[in-house]
Amino acid sequence: MPALNQTEVGKKLGALPSWTLKGGRIEKSYELGSFPAALEFMQQAAALAEAEQERPDIVIRGSVVTVSLGTDDQRGVSEKDLELAGKLEQLPHG
Question: What is this structure's pTM?
Answer: 0.91
- pLDDT (tens, 9 = 90+) of the chain, 94 residues, equals 789 988 999 999 999 999 999 989 999 999 999 999 999 999 999 999 999 999 999 999 999 999 999 987 778 999 999 999 999 999 987 6
The domains of the chain, with CATH numbers, are: 6-89 (3.30.1360.20)
**C-alpha separations of 85 from 4, 5, 74, 92 in Å:** 15, 17, 18, 13
Cα gap 15→82, rounded to integer Å: 10
Partnered with residue 78 across adjacent β-strands are 3
85 vs 17: CA distance, rounded Å:
10
**HSE value, Cβ hemisphere, 13 Å, CA-based, for 46:** 11
